[in-house]
Amino acid sequence: MLKKIAMEPDKNNCAIYLAADVTLPRAGGSAFQSWGGHSENREPSPALKGRLSRRQSNASFVFRSLLGILLMLVAPSQSVALLAAEEAPAHAAAGDESPLADQVEQLDRDISELAQSEETLRSEILETRRRATDLDRNWQSVLGELDQIESRQKELEQKLKEQSEAAEKADKKRQEAMSAAGTARKELEDAQKRLTEAEKRVSEATLEYESASKPLSEFQTELTALTPKTKPLLAKATEAKDASATLHETIESLETRAAAFERQQAEQGKKIESLLRDANQWVSFTDQIAPIFHQRCVACHNARNAQGRYNMANFDAMHSVGESGEAIIPGDATNSRLLQFIEDGSMPFDADPLSNDEITLVRRWIELGARIESSAETGTPLIRLMPRVTQPAPPQRYRVSIPVTAVATDPSGKILASSGYHEVLLWSLPSAELTTRISNIAERVYGLAFHPDGTRLAVASGTPGQLGEVKLFDVQSGKLLRDLLVSEDAIFGVTFSPDGSRLAACGADGTIAIFSLDDASVSPRLIEDHSDWVNSINWSPDGKLLVSTSRDKTAKVFDAETGKLLITFADHNQNVTEAVFFSDGKRVVSAGDDRKLRIWNVADAKETRDIGGVGSEISGLVFVANDQILSAGSDNKIRIHSAADGKPLKTLAISADWILSVAMTADAKTVILGDQAGNIHRIDLGADAGEGRVWLAVPN
């Protein structure tokens, strides 16, 4: 029911205020509690509360709008009626005589119309409430479904997360399982291969066993038949053993007598030599004749090159018979073919004849019996019987440069030795200042080596086809310490054992000599297994083995203590110039004119790797570090290869004229090269590898 309708006449427009027994829904509250509906009495979620507040606000707005419209429709008539009622007393007072009954009647009709309008409006309000209630119920149901969907969504999201993590773990396990399966499959394949190979070996061994078993019965039968024969044979063996012992005693007795005869002969020879010397009827073979024959004859008449089938390498050989007859007839110089050829100038062939004094000396020697000193060994090469001579002094200044055929650095890396003419030149590093000239050396120097303590220098030198020498010098003073060896041809290489107690040398006569440096009285051990020049010789790291290279196209490994040949490597098929041991002493790398580095096992000489692409004959070979191999070739390049896989690590082009010699400092950081033009090249092998310094190796 409407409680008040009022008018404010002082305003431009009329405003009708309506207060009704209606409480509108409030935002955030329950619409059913306010309007008399039913509530489920449950607390909605925060999201639902927000949506509910917005929907209640919208419903309140709609309701108020509808109510305002209805009031506007009825307000004009009501306003006029009320105005008339309020103005009536004023008209009465002014004298208008409007009947009161009509006014009341009119007001009652107005009230009745208003009541009907109110009733109609309230019916519409109730109907609207019912529809709003139904709508709110539907809306509440939808919101409930939304809550369920949101809850399910969150549940599904959590399950999705958990399931994704589980799937990732499962996939990881699957990958691991697949990897394990692959490994197992590979192992199974390998095992299957091994099984197949093993079965094959079993089959082969079975066949071998069957083949070996067949003769067993035959052997057993034969063995049974032989058993009765053993007793008489044992008796004969005993007799033979006793007879052999008797013969050995006889041999020892004869050898004793022979030694006595030899001593008697030596004593008689000494007496004869003494008598002849006293009578001035003696010509010394070692001092006078051997030097003539060695210098003028041996080059064409030696064990390897016996022209005319006549060998003059030693005293015994020259008393043999050549294709022209008996060369020397002791006491008969006139009929000795050797003297005849010398006197008529036909020998030496294609060379200047002997001088008259030399011819006279040879004739007198033959006429006096062609004897040799009693103290000399008749099978010794002439060069070793001759008195050692002091070599010519080197020139003060070189008119031209000479090839640098040998270089070596001392353990400190501060001294460099290089070859000269009849001398060795010592240079200070890195300044390249000449500090010492060591002389009394043969014409050409082919090999140099510093002792591990740095105080001694071994020199291999010679005059091709005539002379070879191995000498030991004091580094500081240049004094000759030992004259170790003289040979018929040049000596090419020398090297100290790692402990410095021994020295090995090799040369053009195909011989390897091992000297004891601790005891000078011990004769050198000679190894003669090569058939041509021995180009190089090197020790194993433990000093127990030696590896040599030769022009006979082989590299050989020897027991350094006994000189016994252990293995031969022959895969180069050309001249082999260098070979060095790996740090483990079990492998060797060798090189030569076939332009390849070849790595092979000491145990069986089996090649394990060949490294090509060198481009030229290899003239030098050293290890740098970590088994990296440095080689120098005639193409004037140095190359460093990995021994592990043979791959090239570094190549440096050098401004040289045919590299002849190579040396490495002890720290493996600097390499020294000598070339054909007489230059020395210092190469730094650090990060900025390159040619550090070049100088001419002459004392000018």
Which residue spans within 488-575 are E strands per DSSP? 491-496, 502-507, 512-516, 525-527, 534-539, 545-550, 555-559, 565-569
Backbone φ and ψ of 590, nearest 5°: -125, 160
Average pLDDT over every residue of 389-399:
92
Rounded Cα distance between 529 and 568, Å, is: 10
Q: What is the pLDDT of residue 60?
A: 52
Dig out the tokens for 452 from the structure. 């591990």
Q: Domain residues of the chain, as ranges?
A: 31-165, 285-385
Q: Predicted confidence band at 65 (pLDDT cuts at 50, 70, 90)?
A: low
pLDDT of residue 574: 93
CB atoms within 10 A of CB 414: 14
In which band, very low, low, confident or very high, does the pLDDT at 82 lie, cut at 50, 70 and 90? very low
pLDDT reported for residue 277 = 85
Dihedral sign computed on CA atoms, order 432, 434, 440, 444: positive
Report field, pTM of the whole predicted structure over 0.75: no
pLDDT in tens, 169-214: 888 888 888 888 888 888 888 888 888 888 888 888 888 777 777 7
In the sheet that holds 587-592, the strands lie side by side as: 576-581, 587-592, 597-601, 607-611
d(CA 62, CA 131): 13
User: Is residue 15 pLDDT above 70, yes or no?
Assistant: no
d(Cα 124, Cα 131) in Å, to the nearest integer?
Answer: 10
Q: Which of 557, 504, 503 is nearest to 530 (CA)?
A: 557
pLDDT tens-digit readout, 254-301: 888 877 877 787 788 788 888 888 888 899 999 999 999 988 888 788
Block residue for tokens 């053009």: 508
- The first and second tokens of residue 90, run together, are 């004023």
Chain segment 554-567, per-residue pLDDT in tens: 999 999 999 999 99
Edge-to-edge strand ranges of the sheet holding 444-450:
444-450, 456-463, 467-474, 480-487
pLDDT digits (tens, 9 = 90+) for 520-541: 888 899 999 999 999 999 999 9
Residue 64: both structure tokens together = 């108020």
Rounded alpha-carbon distances, angstroms, from residue 235 to 222, 225, 240, 241, 470 = 21, 18, 9, 10, 58
pLDDT digits (tens, 9 = 90+) for 343-392: 988 888 878 889 999 999 999 999 999 999 988 888 888 888 888 888 99
* Per-residue pLDDT tens digits for 401-454: 999 999 999 999 999 999 999 999 999 998 999 999 999 999 999 999 999 999
% residues pLDDT > 90 (the chain): 38
Over residues 658-676, mean pLDDT? 92
